[in-house]
Structure formats: structure tokens, C-alpha cells
Amino acid sequence: MHLIPDVMSFEELEHTADIRVRVKAGSLEDLFSEAARALMVIMYGVADPGILRRHVEVEGRDIISLMHAFLSEVLFVSEVDDLVVSGAEVRLSGTGLEGDLFGEPFSREKHLSGMEVKGISFSGLSIASGNHTYTLEVTFDV
């Protein structure tokens, strides 16, 4: 099991083969940002703020497929652009999302303490809200 620092707004849950996390945020937009950061911490061990910015746009049938599309895009951008994403500013519009990813360049010295993530699973992907908090549960295929 990975040890995720207590200061994070996500935690690792038990899973037999992959990495499953629960992410919490005060708004739906912040949930997307925190989910991206959780993915990066799993992949790289750290996701510190940086000066790089990448614009993203994704569509989904509903909020669940939109989250899947967003996290898949974050994974793609991270791998193709060597960007370790620390967060995102997103705008939701119906079943679409537009925004910017923020982060730092990948560094072998700093970012090799995580696990390779191959994809984002639809299985068990859920978003709930209550008590002014949004909660995401997602499994990263490793």
C-alpha cells in the first residue's frame, strides 16, 4: 500500500490488484483538481506546484464519464508532455470541461518514487455529495 501524506485531501483504499483512492473537495471543480493531483502523487510520489500550464478540454455523457475523460487526459498529458500535474482550474458546462492543468517538468531525481498507472478504471468510479463535500472514488489501473 502507498503511504499518502495526511495533508492530502485523498486517501488510498484497499484494493486487491490496483490503486483505489477516495478524493474529497468542497466543490465539484476542486474535486477534479484534487483527483488530478492524487493521480500524480500515485504516479510520481509528489505533485508540487510548478509554472507549466496545459489547456485541456474534454466531454462526457455525464459527470462520471466526464471525470473518467478528464483523468485519462491528465494521464495522457503527463506522459506525452513530461508534466507532473499539481492541480487544475476547470470550468464545468453541462457534460463538458475546459480548463488548465498546472505543474512542473518531470525530473528523474524527484519523480521516481511512484507507480506506473496504465489507465483509469470505470469500475467502481463514483461521485457523491453531502455535507458541503464532494467525494470521488476511483481505481487507477497499475
Of 16 and 60, more confident: 60
| pLDDT, average across residues 33-51 | 92
Q: Are 104 and 84 in contact (CB under 8 A)?
A: yes
| Res 6: pLDDT | 36
| Res 68: pLDDT | 98
CATH fold of the domain at 10-141? Archease, Possible Chaperone; Chain: A; domain 1 (3.55.10)
Name the β-bridge partners of 56.
Answer: 99
Indicate the average pLDDT of the chain: 90
Question: Please, which contacts does 123-129 make with residues 24 or more away whose CB atoms are closer than 8 Å?
Answer: 124/20, 125/64, 125/67, 125/68, 126/64, 127/28, 127/31, 127/63, 127/64, 127/67, 129/28
Asked if the model's pLDDT at residue 51 lies above 60, the reply is: yes
Q: Are 35 and 138 in contact (CB under 8 A)?
A: yes
pTM of the shown model: 0.90
